[in-house]
Structure 1
Amino acid sequence: MPKLIDHQKKKEQIVEYTWQSIVNSGAKGATVRSIAKLADKTPGQIRYYFPTHSALLDAVMEKVNRKVAQRIQEIFGQEDLTEKERVIQAVLAVLPLDDDRYADMEVWMAFQYEIHEAGANTMGNEIRLLVQKSLQYLSEKKMLQEELPMELTIMRAHALVDGLALHKWLTPDRINNEQVMKLIRDEIHVWLKEEYR
């Protein structure tokens, strides 16, 4: 009887090895050859499941997006957190403040580098969407300042989170986690009515 191969499991393993390869070696770790070496496979075996390099990076980026979305969902499910604290923790969940989030940032940057090299737009909307949803959540809870300029607030917060993520990733010794957390708390503090600050 022929041996049954779980192709979905093989694909997931290759994605995991790719993630690990990028974490170990940055964007240059995303080559098919380096992934094959880490996975103890041939480049042909990798290409069987992911015919193009872009398809492989897309799969890895999808894994990172799922992880981050799950992290944020778990934060909003914590009943012991206030609404304000849920938003703060959700925004902090996308910043490289620990090994796991730093690794996710490595993968995200490798993905951005790849699509930049391909001549595509490298600016995703994930952070902007997180800021928009955070403001919407606080608005639904009647916690936002009534005169808050929404579009400018979204732009400012988006730029702040993007900038902090890059600084923490590129020069982690120049800004510590406590400083990052204070900057995020101060930003969200500005959004709120006096009684919720």
Structure 2
Amino acid sequence: MPRIVDHDSRKKEIVNYAWQSIVNEGSKGASIRKIANLANMAPGQIRYYFPIHSELLKAVMDRVIYKVRKRIEVILMDENLLVTDRVLSSILAVIPLDAERYADMVVWMAFNYELHLQNDSVVEDDIELLIKKCIQLFRKENVLNENVDEKLLIARTYAIVDGIAMHILFKKGNIDNEIVEALIREEIYSWMK
């Protein structure tokens, strides 16, 4: 009797192996051979589900984006938290302060590196959109300092978040989570009346 294969679950399984391979080895782990080796599959089996390598990388990146968006959505919707805590926690959700967020950042960097090598445009991330949502939340709660230059605020906050994330990624363990939280807290307090 022929074996019935659930193709959707098989694709998800391959994406999970690809994610793990990239986490383990950075952009070098994004190769079909490395992923197949980790999954105990032949490269041809991987190519059956993802004939084009970039499709597999995009599926991995889509998984990361979905996970991070859900993480942020839960925080921003939690009305039991003070507005400042929602904003702080949602911004901290994109900074690699624990193993899961660190792994997501490694995958994000590897994906963008692969795109750069292929002369494709870098994937749009949602950090600017997140900062804008946080500003809107402050405005809605009437705590936003209306005299702030919003473009400058967005650029400055983005640079701080990006800089901290890169610092953590390249100098792992060199900055305490408490310091990161204090830096982000100080930044968001500068937005307030």
Q: TM-score range by the shorter chain?
A: over 0.9
Equivalent AA in structure 1 for residue 181 of structure 2: M
Q: Secondary structure at the match of 1:191?
A: coil
Q: Distance in 2 between matches of 1:81 and 1:172?
A: 30
User: Within 2, Cα distance between the matches of 1:41 and 1:173?
Assistant: 35
**What is the aligned-residue identity percentage?**
49
User: Which region of structure 1 is more displaced relative to structure 2, 60-69 or 137-146?
Assistant: 137-146
Displacement after TM superposition at 1:108 (Å): 0.3
CA deviation vs aligned residue, 1:151-191 (integer Å, no higher than 9, x gap): 11011111111111100111123322111111100000000
CA separation of 1:19 and 1:123: change in aligned 2, threshold 3 A: closer
Partner of 1:29: 29
What is the alpha-carbon distance in structure 2 between the residues aligned to residue 31 and residue 55 of structure 1? 12
- What is the RMSD of the two structures over their aligned residues, measured on CA atoms? 1.2
Give the gaps of 5 or more residues in structure 1: none
For the pair 1:5 / 2:5, whether they are aligned, the reply is yes
Name the TM-score, length of structure 1 as normaliser: 0.94
Structure 2 partner of 1:124? 124
Aligned ranges 1:110-189 → 2 under 5 Å = 110-122=110-122, 124-189=124-189
For 1:57, give the aligned amino acid: L
Partner of residue 47, structure 1? 47
Distance (whole Å) between structure 2 residues aligned to residue 92 and residue 181 of structure 1: 7
CA deviation map 1:26-68 (0-9, x unaligned): 1111110010011111000001111111111100000001110
- Tell me the distance in 2 between the aligned counterparts of 1:125 and 1:173: 24
In structure 2, the partner of 1:89 is 89
- Output the TM-score relative to the length of structure 2: 0.96
Q: Secondary structure at the match of 2:190?
A: helix
Name the CA distance, whole Å, in 2 between partners of 1:17 and 1:180: 31
Query: Helix, strand or coil for the counterpart of 2:51?
Result: coil
Q: Distance between the aligned counterparts of 2:172 and 2:91, measured in 1? A: 18
Q: Which residue of 1 aligns with 2:20?
A: 20
Matched letter for residue 89 of structure 1: S
The alignment partner of 1:133 has SS state of: helix
Shift of 1:123: 6.1
